[in-house]
């Protein structure tokens, strides 16, 4: 068994509501510090405020790129990524170009992701740069298994760090079957972030067992509070 802190370190505490205020964002940051979450994911506008609040803690600043549809030119995605990193974000959740995916124009998908991910990876190599984690959002509710497989393979080829299941703005949330499929495609070397509609410890546990090693949720506090170490069904093996 493992501690609640180990579970918390698998959670991205996310506040992506369009009506979130600065006080809301700072509250999420304070909760993340208290519970030792991996990351607070905020809209790009709030990166600087989150970075100031989280400075000196063990919690990272995360944000989204081309949220929620991925439907901007690659140059705009690259600019968004650079701007996010310049304002303190070290974890970037990048929405794949869903229109290109649905058109099966995978050469466009690959060029798009390669430029953005490479920009992030190079930023992390600068003398004072932080390690930058990139997570490619494939929106499982709008893509077929075949499309998901193609995008996962592209994301792995361009050296993204994670596949993420949902933006939270799609037609449905994540399922255990989604995570199992993605894990099977990417193997053990790549991260899988389950997100979209995760509200309970039971959901989080099932998704981790299925192969997720990050959980994106706006209800991280209640999930961690509900975790009973003596009843937890997860083992350290799951975390590897």
82-105 pLDDT tens trace: 999 999 999 999 999 999 999 999
**What is the rounded CA–CA span in Å between residue 53 and residue 30?**
8
Compute CA distances 36 → 33, 54, 67, 93, 239, whole Å. Answer: 5, 11, 26, 20, 16
Q: Which helix (H) or strand (E) holds 208?
A: helix 201-210
Joined tokens for residue 36: 């030792």
Q: For residue 199, how many other CB atoms are within 10 A of its CB?
A: 13
Compute CA distances 85 → 78, 121, 218, whole Å. Answer: 11, 11, 22
- Calculate mean pLDDT across residues 178-193: 97
**What is the rounded CA–CA span in Å between residue 31 and residue 221?**
7
Residues labelled as active-site residues: 93, 164, 193
Contact 105, 149 (CB under 8 A): no
pLDDT tens per residue, range 157-180: 999 999 999 999 999 999 999 999
Parse the chain into domains and list their residue ranges.
4-239
Architecture of domain 4-239: Alpha-Beta Barrel (3.20)
**Whether residue 237 has pLDDT greater than 60:** no
Mean pLDDT, rounded, of the chain: 93
Which tops the pLDDT comparison, 127 or 178? 178
**What is the rounded CA–CA span in Å between residue 188 and residue 112?**
24
């Amino acid at each position: 068994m493992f501690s609640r802190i180990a579970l918390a370190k698998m959670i991205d505490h996310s506040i992506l509501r369009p009506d979130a205020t600065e006080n809301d964002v700072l509250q999420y940051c304070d909760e993340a510090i208290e519970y030792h979450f991996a990351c607070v994911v905020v809209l790009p506008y709030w990166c600087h405020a989150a970075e100031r609040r989280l400075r000196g803690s063990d919690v990272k600043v995360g944000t989204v790129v081309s949220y929620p549809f991925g439907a901007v030119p690659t140059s705009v995605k690259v600019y968004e990524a650079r701007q996010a990193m310049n304002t303190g974000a070290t974890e970037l959740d990048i929405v794949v170009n869903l229109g290109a995916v649905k058109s099966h124009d995978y050469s466009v998908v690959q060029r798009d992701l390669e430029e953005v991910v490479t920009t992030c990876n190079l930023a992390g190599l600068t003398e004072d740069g932080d390690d930058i984690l990139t997570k490619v959002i494939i929106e499982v509710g709008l893509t077929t298994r075949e499309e998901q497989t193609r995008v996962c393979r592209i994301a792995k080829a361009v050296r993204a760090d994670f596949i993420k299941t949902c933006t939270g703005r799609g037609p449905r949330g994540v399922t255990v079957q989604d995570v199992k499929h993605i894990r099977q495609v990417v193997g053990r070397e790549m991260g899988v972030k389950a997100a979209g509609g995760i509200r309970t410890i039971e959901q989080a546990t099932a998704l981790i067992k299925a192969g997720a090693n990050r959980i994106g949720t706006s209800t991280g506090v209640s999930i961690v509070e509900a975790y009973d170490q003596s009843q937890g069904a997860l083992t350290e093996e799951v975390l590897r």
